[in-house]
Structure formats: structure tokens, C-alpha cells
Chains A and B, each alone.
Chain A
Amino acid sequence: NAGVTQTPKFQVLKTGQSMTLQCAQDMNHEYMSWYRQDPGMGLRLIHYSVGAGITDQGEVPNGYNVSRSTTEDFPLRLLSAAPSQTSVYFCASSLRFRSSGNTIYFGEGSWLTVV
């Protein structure tokens, strides 16, 4: 099993550019989510999905879009990159949202710099 795979690992963008961070899991997990991690702020939830075709906003959704057309994939789109979106982005998945003993699996992270 590959687990949760994120691409790219590193990316530099210019202000105003758009891009998509890819996330794929091969564990048939229903629940997938995107977090950003910033120094002193911890991890903050951007968007999440409880199943194919269902998405919802987290704590900091502005400037980001998501879709969930398949169970495996949950891409995160930056619409018009801003320096404030410089961060490390993590994708995570779990079998179901809040089921008993539900282990959350994280990807290795995507380092994004917006200049």
C-alpha cells in the first residue's frame, strides 16, 4: 500500500498563479481532508470530504477549492496564489469520519512558496 500520496513535494509560485496540489489514497477511505501547517499556528483544516461528491469547508477555506469525484483523489486548488498561502500542506485520510478507533493517515506534505 502506498498510503496517502501527495504531489508535488515542493513548489514555488508567483503571486496570482493558480495550481493544484494532488492527493491520492489507496486504502478505500471515505474521509479525506487538507490541512496547512504554519509556524506557531499548528495545523488548520482547509477543506474536507466525507465521501465522493461531498465536500465541506474547514477553518481556513478562503482562496482554496476542492472536489471529490472519486474515492481515491482529493485535489486542492489554489485559485490565485498569494504570499499568505506560503505554507506546508498536508492531506489526510481515514476510513470513516469519527468511527471508533479511526486512525488518520497523513501524506508527507507539500511545501509551497508564493513569491
Chain B
Amino acid sequence: KQEVTQIPAALSVPEGENLVLNCSFTDSAIYNLQWFRQDPGKGLTSLLLIQSSQREQTSGRLNASLDKSSGRSTLYIAASQPGDSATYLCAADGGATNKLIFGTGTLLAVQP
């Protein structure tokens, strides 16, 4: 059964700092790995999608990497801003369950 874990559960950083969010998954037979952002009381917004054949994807200040062999993905946020404060979730698509399985998220607070 695919299990997705995100560490840390919460993170607080000062504005301007570079940071890394971690995501690990137990079944490496995934189709893709996705990162989402969720603001309080809102739905999820897709940030980056990495296909299983890719190593990384970039969008603006965000860079996501994927290492299937070790079952890990990271989301790198450069020069963090207070507007980046949100919960970030990763989701692994595929594996034995053949479903999109979500982690529990990392709650990020960027202090001005």
C-alpha cells in the first residue's frame, strides 16, 4: 500500500530564506508526483507535476525534484515571502493502489 509522508509537519522561517520541504513515498512504481498548495479554507492549487521519467520541474521560485529509487521528492522555495505561507501537500500517483495518494502536508509560515 502506498504511503506518503511529509516532514516537517510545520515550518516557520523568516522572509527571504530558502527552504526545502520533503516528501517520501513507499512504492516507487509511481506515474507522477505532484505538489499542491492549500490556503486556509480553500481548495488545493496545483504547483508542479513531475512525471516518473523526469528528475525535476521548475516554476518561478519553486523547484521540485524526484528520486524514485529512494522514494523521495523535495520542493525547494527560493527567497521565501509572507505570501508563500500556506500548507503544501505532495501526492504520489500510481503504485500498487493505482490511485493519487496524498501526504498530510507541511504548514509553512513565512515571517515578515
Contact = CB atoms under 8 A, between A and B. Distances in A.
Interface residues of B, number: 25
Contacts, number: 53
A104 interface: yes
Nearest to A35: B102
B45 A106 contact: yes
Interface residues of A, number: 25
A42 B43 contact: no
Contacts of A98: 31-32, 93-94
| B contacts with A: majority SS | strand
Given A42-B89, A98-B32, A59 B99 contact: yes
Contacts of A84: none
Nearest to B103: A42
Contacts of A48: 99
A62 B31 CA distance: 27
Given A58-B99, A109-B41, A43 B46 contact: no
Interface in A67-115: 90, 92, 98, 100-109
Interface of A: 4, 33, 35, 40-45, 48, 58-59, 90, 92, 98, 100-109
